[in-house]
Amino acid sequence: MELAVLVIVLALLLIAGVPVAFSLLGATLVTFFMMDLPPVAVFQRMAGGMSVFSLMAIPFFVFAGELMHRSGIAGRLVRVAEAAFGRSRGGLGQVNVGASMLFGAVSGSAIASVSAMGSTLMPMMKERGYDADYAVNVTSTSAICGLLIPPSHNMIIYAAAAGVGVSIGELFVGGIVPGLLTGAALMVAAWLVAVRRGYPRGAFPGWMAFLHAFAMAVPGLMTAVIIVGGVLGGVFTAVESSAVAVIYTVLVAALLYRSMGPKAFLDAAVQAVKTTAMVLLIIGSASAFGWMLALLEAPSQLAGLITTITDNPILILLIINLILLVLGTFMDMSPLIVITTPIFLPVVTELGMDPVQFGVVMMLNLGIGLVTPPVGSVLFVGSAIGKVPVEETVKTIWPFYGALFVALMAVTYFPALSMGLVNLMR
């Protein structure tokens, strides 16, 4: 009975348009009162969920991403991608995906990626004859690559939710190949749509132009190298690496590129504070909600339900993916990571899946939810930047959904994609 009340109240609050954090908190409080438990325990669980040391990396990574967005680093990455991919049919679509992959390697944020790439590439694509819905679809879906290619603050949230034994460094490494695979699948989809619509073919600017663009972008790209290399080499922890990323980005943008002034710095700081406050509030509320689920034995009940349906590992993984896909269309990524990790991680580890692989699967799975209505925050941001109604983009986004689903199935059923590099470093 209590579990039904918890779920129903949450659903009603979400349908009513209450923000996710307050919906989770409200449902938890109602259930607490119903069970005659002290409500102060809810806020203690919230504080405990936000007091995990590894979560200190989130504000720094968010700040670094905002600095990169406002300092022109995104524009330099676009020029590299255009020189590399611009010559193919519908070349700007390939450029868009390639630039998002590069930006994901230095920001780790899907929202930052769609904002940076959207403001830079969407006007350019429209000027060269590309349809607005195509520009929005490519930009929004390719932003998911930033969730996989390190660094990714969502992987830090997953590591905290999974508990002791899941290495953030291994998660970073595990996301590299799946991130590249996802980008390649989206490039194929972008090319197929471009051929069908008859978009123009770009021209290769020459090796000298490519090398010049690459050389100008190298200082920005070194952010990812420093972060991942430093963590894997034991030079600093994941939290320390996030602070190093901020310092390095400020030095590159202010001293080397000379593209960031005091106003841009302050704007980045303000936006980073807003984003961090929102993310941590959601994590705290989700922690209290997840604790209530555990108290009501929801994880074991759901695991038992899945195993009663089938004992086939392939089907169990497919069911878990489908559940996550559906949940991802209604809730934001951060709370779902906190809530569902303790539920599904024991099930998949029982099947022999490594926690690192499941973390990568979860990043990609819930990332698809970010570009799927009715929540679809990344898709809504992309549509707003492209000035295209979401309803119009959804009508033509299906080839990109197909590419993402193919990548998800490959990462789910072929462990070597996410574990190959990880096993080499173990």
Amino acid residing at 374 = P
Tokens of 307: 């195993």
Tokens of 223: 């952010």
DSSP E strand boundaries for 103-259: none
SS3 89: strand
Other CB atoms within 10 A of residue 244 CB: 19
User: What pLDDT sits at residue 416?
Assistant: 94
On whether the CB atoms of residues 114 and 139 are closer than 8 A, the answer is yes
Listed in sequence order, the residues at least 6 apart from 103 whose beta carbon sits closer than 8 Å to its beta carbon are 68, 73, 74, 77, 112, 113, 116, 117, 146
Nearest CA to 405 out of 352, 377, 367, 376 is that of 367
Nearest CA to 152 out of 132, 135, 131, 175 is that of 175
pTM: 0.85
On whether the CB atoms of residues 72 and 309 are closer than 8 A, the answer is no
User: What pLDDT sits at residue 138?
Assistant: 93
User: What pLDDT sits at residue 283?
Assistant: 83
Q: State the Cα angle at 190 between 188 and 192, rounded to 5°.
A: 70
Tokens of 380: 């809504």
Compute the distance between CA of residue 105 and CA of residue 86 in angstroms, rounded to an integer. 20
Listed in sequence order, the residues at least 6 apart from 379 whose beta carbon sits closer than 8 Å to its beta carbon are 136, 140, 370, 371, 372, 373, 390, 393, 397
- Residue 217 CA to its chain's centroid (Å): 23
Residue 424 half-sphere exposure, CB side, CA atoms within 13 Å? Answer: 8
Question: What is the sign of the dihedral through the CA atoms of 230, 233, 237 and 238?
Answer: positive
Q: Over its length of 426 residues, how does the chain's per-residue pLDDT go in tens digits?
A: 788 888 888 888 888 888 878 888 888 898 888 888 887 888 888 888 888 777 788 888 888 877 877 777 777 777 777 777 767 777 888 888 888 887 776 666 777 778 777 777 888 888 888 899 999 999 999 989 888 988 888 898 899 888 777 888 899 999 999 999 999 999 999 999 998 988 877 666 677 877 887 888 888 778 777 877 787 777 888 788 888 888 888 888 888 888 788 888 898 889 888 888 888 888 888 888 888 887 887 777 877 888 788 889 999 999 999 999 988 887 888 888 988 998 899 899 989 999 999 999 999 999 998 898 877 888 888 888 888 888 888 899 999 999 999 999 999 999 999 999 999 886
